[in-house]
Every structure is written in C-alpha cells, then in structure tokens.
Structure 1
Amino acid sequence: MAEVLSFRRVAEALPDSRFWQFLDFHQSHVPWVGCSLHDLIQPSFTFLVGVALPFSIGSRLAKGAKFGPLLRHAIVRSLILILLGIFLRSLHSQQTNFTFEDTLTQIGLGYPFLFLLGFSSQRVQLGALALILVGYWAAFAFFPLPGAGFNYEAVGVAPDWEHNLRGFAAHWNMNTNFAWYFDRWFLNLFPRENPFTHNGGGYATLSFIPALGTMILGLFAGKALRATTAQKVKLKFFLITGISLLAAGVLLHVMGINPIVKRIWTPAWVLFSGGCCFLLLALFYWVIDVANYKKWSFPLMVIGMNSIAAYVIADGFGSFIASSLSIHLGQDYDQVFGLPYATLVKGSLVLLVEWYILYWMYKNKIYIKV
C-alpha cells in the first residue's frame, strides 16, 4: 500500500541524500540477486497463508465441517484468488492479461495443495517441502544454458547485463531459465495482444511451486503458534528455525549451489525468505503476545483484518483516489513542501484515504473473505 509514497522519485530528486537512497532501495525490488525489505512482502503474505491454515481448519472442524465440503471451499477460494489476480493485472490492458505471477494468483495456484498437506502428518509435509526444493532446483540445474548464438535482446536481457550470473549459477539467469521456457509455451496457450516472449521482470508462473514451499514453512509456524506449549518454547522455535533457514539459504548462495533470487523464487530464496519470516514472526509474537504491547499495532490490525480488500484497494483504486485528490485540491496541491516531496504529500493522503476505507469496514464488521 505504501508504494504510493514513491520514495524513488524523492531519491531521484535528492540524489545526494543517503537517507532517501536507503528508503528507495527498501521500497524497490532488487534487480535480480539479493533482497530488500520490499522483496519480503510477497513471501510474508505467502507465509501467513500457511500460518493461518491450522487455525482455519481447526475452527471449521470444531463446527462439524467435513473434509469434502472443506476441499470444495479450498478449490473455490483458489479459483477466486487466481481470477482476482488476473483481473488486477488486466486493469490497464486492452484485453484480459492472462498472467500468473501476481501474488494472488501464485497463492491461488498453490493453495489446494497446501490445504491437502494441512491434513497430512508433519513427516509428509517435510517430505513435500524437500521434494519441492530439490525438484525445482534440479529442473533449473539440468536445463541447458543458452548457446553462443542466443538472442538475449529478444528476451529483454542484455548479454553483458551486470546482474547476469556466471558458471553454474547461470542456470538461474533472467529469461533464459527453465521457468521462462515453460512460460514461452504455457502463456501462449491463452489469447494475447502479442505473443509472449518474456516477462520484463523475469517473473514466472512456475514460481508458485517453490512458493508452496514458503506456505509449508508457514504451516509449521501456524501449528507451533496454535499449540498449547509455553510462549518461551514457541519463541525459541521461531528464533532457532528462522536463524537456521536464513543460514541455509545464505550457505547455498555462497557455495554456488543456488542463488538467492526472489523473482523466480529459487530454493535458496525459499529458505532465506522463510528464515526472515520466522524471525519477523518471532519479533511480533514477542512484542504483542509475550510483552503485551498491543495498542501501537491497531492501524496494522485494521489492514490485516481485510488483507485481500487492502490489496485490491491499493492495486485497483489507488490511481482513482490520487486523480480525485488532484481534481478537488488542485493540480499542484502536492507541492506544498516543494517538488521533491510531492509524491510523499500525495501518497500520504492516498494512503490515509485507503486506510480510512478499511477502518470504516472494520468498524462496521465488513470483512472480505474468499
């Protein structure tokens, strides 16, 4: 939601300010390898789907729900998320933009499998996680590297791009990898304005498979959170698991086995970002549940209670709110503190309007669920 503040424009207007350069970096996705705070949004959202599942299943089973109806509901939920993601990606297109790398579509594609795993033993869940990580790594590792005459420009990548990986790690380069090859076939099965050749950011449909791994990690966290064990035991589990996953991801990257790349959700990214999610969960669990500091989190709770609505409002109505403010407040109202800070003024008002919509929904107990 806070993307509307556009720290990048402020940083560009104030190139000598390290403060704004720092904020710009952490409100942007890294070009390929590595991680910014912004890169942790999607895995956190995905992780929390897994965290919530044990609570959801437990609540429904306690009300007498049966497996069959629950499975049908999970499949319907999955389809709604996929279609909603496609709808949001098509807002500025001339026709339906069939693309499946959006956060909602990625969660929707993996959710039925997560649901089934929610009824499985922990051994089966661990086996599924291992199979996903090893299998997805192998699919990329054994996919042939582009030959000497490969046309990099045709797939939106310069041959000398500074972020291209060398050696074995080149199997995970942008738009020359296994997932890109799959999308060259799969996405062209749908009607398109132009034939699909590549995704400008390197994102891929098949990322939903390792993203399912992130959801499984969330499933482990949710089971621990729901357990009747002491708070200290839970906190210790979150911290140890988080540090271990983080270290494993970095080790795979440093050893050249697998790079940390969020855009194609590499296995190393699953482990690294999963570790970050566990540590963030440990932090908030300690502050809110253990130390009992809760009041400060109310603005976040208003958003979290309607997370799907918040996502749709920010993605689908942010520009409408911004243009409406310009109509009623004047075209230059956002320059009250000078041109460099214009996006902060406009963005803050848009963010405030979006939050008050969610607050109104919260006060009236309107919760959008799928």
Structure 2
Amino acid sequence: MPDQVKPKRNVAVDAYRGLVMLLMMAEVLHFSQVARAYPNSTFWHILAFNQTHVEWTWFGLHDLIQPSFTFLVGVALPYSIRSRQKKGETFAHSLAHTIVRSIVLIALGIFLRSIHRPITYFTFEDTLTQIGMGYTFAFLLAFCRPRWQWVAFGAILFAYWLAWAIYPLPLANFDYATVGVPSEWHTHLLHGFAAHWNKNVNLGQAFDVWFLNLFPRTSPFLYNPGGYLTLSFIPTLGTMLLGLAAGRWLIESPSQIPFRRFLIAGTSLVGAGILLHVLGINPIVKRIWTPAWTLFSGGLCFYLLAAFSWLIDVQGHGRLAFPLVVIGMNSIAAYLIAHLWEDFVESSLHTHLGDRVLYLLGAGLEPLVLGGLTLLIYWSALYWMYRQKILLRI
C-alpha cells in the first residue's frame, strides 16, 4: 500500500496567524510613549490608537488580535480532526485529547496572569483561557452537520443576548465609582436599552463577583478594571464556530479558495453587527464580547482570511509572507515569548547597549529602538525554532 501523501499546510492561515501574533508581540514598540513625546504628530497618535484597546464601543486594530486568534483556532480544527482520523484515532481518544488541551490552555492562561503576583491569580478572561473554556464545545460541534452548527451559533448568541437584556439595570442614582468607573469615563456610558451592556454593571459582572470569589484571593474580587469578563467565553465560542465554518469550506474546496463564501459571510456578519449597534439592540463592545461584536469582528476575520488567501494562493506572494509564517507556525511559542521575555530582553539590551545606542534616534524614539531590537530577538528565536523544526503545540 503506497504511503499517504501528507496534506500541505495552509500557508495563508499560517501567515494570518503570524500577523495576529506579530501585532501582539509588537506591543514592545510602545507607540503610546512615542506619541507622548511627539504630541503634535498625527502619525504616531494613529499608531498608538491602534496599539491599544478602545475604551468601550467600536474597535481599533489591536482589538482584532483576540478574535482573529480565536477564529483561526476554529479554522484549524477541521484540519486537526481530519489528520487524527487519517491516523486511525478513535473519537473517544480525540475527545480526551481535546479535553486535556482545553485544561492546559486554561491553566496556561491563569499561569501567565499570575506572574509577579503573590498567589495564583484566578482569572478567566485571558485569551488562552477563553479559548480553552470553549474549545471542547467547538470540537463536539465540529462533528455535527453544518446546519446544526449554524443553529448552535445563532442559539448561543441569542440566548446570551437575551440573558443580558433581561438582567436589571442599575438604579438611576447608582454610583459607578464603586465598580471602577470614574467620572471622567462617563462619556463612554451607554443609554437606553444599550445600557444593559455598560461597564461593570451587567450580568457578566454579577457572575464574576460570585464566581471569582470562590477562589483564594489576596482581596475580594469587586470588578475588573478593564471590564473583562469570564462569561465572554460563551460568545467567544461563536467566533470559534465561524472559524470552524471557514476551515470546513477550505477543506471542501482544496483546489479553489472559496472567496465568494468568505466575502458573503464577511459582509453579512459585519452588516448585522453594525445594524444591531446602530439600532441600539446590542452595542459593538470587544471588552465584553457582545453578540454584535462576535458578528462584526467575525466578518472582519473572514475578510482578512480572504485577503491572505488571495495574496498567497492566488497572487503567489508566499515568499513575502515568510516572516509571518515563521511566527504563525509557532503561535503558542510566540504567545509565551511575548508574555515572558519582555522584561529580561529589554533590561539586557539596556545593560549591553547602553543609552548611547538606544538614544541614537533621539530620546523620543528610544522606546521604538528598544522595542524594535526586542522584536527582532523574538523573531530570531522563532526563526531558530522554525529551522530546527521545533513547534510548540498543546
């Protein structure tokens, strides 16, 4: 019996994932510090805006990192299942592996959030933790017919929206400062029906006040300063299911990229998200992953996947995407490097290069020089792992 030909990797998916991880690692460039040094520069302020999360509604480029990473987890899932089935792995064994992977992702997210803290910091809004909490459900739904996957997607978002919509609003004289919303932040508060999705006065906040205080803490949990929530893993699962659909379409048409499906899905989702926001039915808020955000960001993910597929698979620009592929093929390693190496690398650069080199372009650009060198070291480590065929997987 001839050896089976190993399926080729989808380079476009690797490149897209590489861009996502690059945007995360590029936080070391500290555009906000540079922007403060050049207060009259529109250029640096635009870069700074897109390197941080918006305060509440709408989005910036940085807000697309987590949904893209989550979406791509869904894209990779059909490929992973197909690979395991070709190896003769049973469903029970695959499910056990999936559950273990989910637990490891949750634990790793908690570990990274606990760095520099006196005790384990139990929090569940980290990207890896959110993916881990929904991953097993996505795996099980991957074995359902596409129709039922879409039914599950719609049911998840509607039920989640309804639960928030019926949760009572705070009293008119409520003191938002008690939940970490200072007076200067009040311009971001939503009004009318949309107020059900205001910061730290919602269903998810009430859940976390109960749930997170079940774990040992140095002080009782009162609120998350950024408004992030444990329950966001539920609509995040919706984003994963959108990626699952994209991965299924790619497998079903191996010789032709399903651009039409990607574009129709992207346009429909973006349009639906904007409509819900404009009509006041559900605001687009990444921090609490509203259903409108799931639709809107999911549509943008379809657009980005289509763009990478067109550039690489149609236009043949695979070589130009190589630096991104190096990162994307080792995304977990890139994630860990970005969270664990920054302080050590930056302090080492200060020690061995000194201010004379780091201030070569002026004091205002010192964070950019330091960050650029740090980013180069990150990529070099990933390139070495790529050459050695060391791929960190969970």
After TM superposition, is the score higher than 0.5?
Answer: yes
Aligned to 1:352: 376
Aligned to 1:190: 215
C-alpha distance in 1 between matches for 2:264 and 2:151: 20
1:13 corresponds, among 33, 37, 49, to 37
1:340 equivalent to 2:364? Answer: yes
| % same residue | 59
Using structure 1 for the length normalisation, give the TM-score.
0.98
1:35 corresponds, among 41, 59, 63, to 59
Amino acid paired to 2:151? G
Aligned to 1:56: 80
Contact 1:231 1:290 in 2 (8 A): no
C-alpha distance in 1 between matches for 2:224 and 2:166: 22
SS, match of residue 187 in structure 2: coil
1:67 equivalent to 2:67? Answer: no
Aligned to 1:259: 283
Contact 1:100 1:205 in 2 (8 A): yes
Amino acid paired to 1:91? I
1:201 corresponds, among 226, 243, 255, to 226
Give the deviation of 1:229 after TM superposition: 6.2
Aligned to 1:173: 198
Aligned to 1:146: 170
Give the deviation of 1:297 after TM superposition: 0.6
Aligned to 1:221: 246
For 1:212-269, what per-residue CA distance to the aligned partner results, in whole angstroms no more than 9, with x for missing partners? 000000000000111136526x011111111111011001000110000000000000
Amino acid paired to 2:362? G
For 1:255-310, what per-residue CA distance to the aligned partner results, in whole angstroms no more than 9, with x for missing partners? 11000000000000000000000000010001101111110111101101110110
Aligned to 2:330: 306
Contact 1:117 1:125 in 2 (8 A): yes
Give the deviation of 1:196 after TM superposition: 0.3
1:111 equivalent to 2:135? Answer: yes
Pairing of 1:324-339 with structure 2 (within 5 A)? 324-331=348-355, 333-339=357-363
Give the deviation of 1:161 after TM superposition: 1.0
1:23 corresponds, among 47, 63, 81, to 47
Rate the CA distance shift 1:229–1:317 in 2: closer, same or farther, 3 A.
closer
SS, match of residue 186 in structure 2: coil
Rate the CA distance shift 1:229–1:347 in 2: closer, same or farther, 3 A.
closer
SS, match of residue 295 in structure 1: coil
Aligned to 2:301: 277
Give the deviation of 1:333 after TM superposition: 3.4
C-alpha distance in 2 between matches for 1:315 and 1:113: 27
Aligned to 1:286: 310
Using structure 2 for the length normalisation, give the TM-score.
0.92
C-alpha distance in 2 between matches for 1:73 and 1:113: 13
1:93 equivalent to 2:137? Answer: no
Amino acid paired to 1:83? A
Amino acid paired to 2:191? R
C-alpha distance in 2 between matches for 1:46 and 1:89: 19
C-alpha distance in 2 between matches for 1:240 and 1:290: 19
C-alpha distance in 1 between matches for 2:165 and 2:358: 50
C-alpha distance in 1 between matches for 2:210 and 2:221: 9
Judge which range, 325-334 or 172-181, deviates more. Answer: 325-334
For 1:51-99, what per-residue CA distance to the aligned partner results, in whole angstroms no more than 9, with x for missing partners? 0000000011011000001000000000111111011111121111100
- Structure 1 gap segments, 5+ residues each: none
Larger relative contact order, structure 1 or 2 (CA cutoff 8 Å, min sep 6) = 2
SS, match of residue 329 in structure 1: helix
Aligned to 1:135: 159
Give the deviation of 1:149 after TM superposition: 4.1
For 1:323-368, what per-residue CA distance to the aligned partner results, in whole angstroms no more than 9, with x for missing partners? 1111111245321111110110000011000111111110000010
Amino acid paired to 2:111? F
C-alpha distance in 2 between matches for 1:321 and 1:206: 35
SS, match of residue 165 in structure 1: coil
Aligned to 2:390: 366
Aligned to 2:182: 158
Amino acid paired to 1:141? A
C-alpha distance in 2 between matches for 1:333 and 1:31: 35
For the aligned residue pairs, the C-alpha RMSD in angstroms reads: 1.1
User: Any runs of at least 4 consecutive aligned residues in structure 1 with deviations exceeding 2 A, and if so which?
Assistant: 148-151, 228-232
Amino acid paired to 2:277? H
SS, match of residue 321 in structure 2: helix
SS, match of residue 161 in structure 1: helix
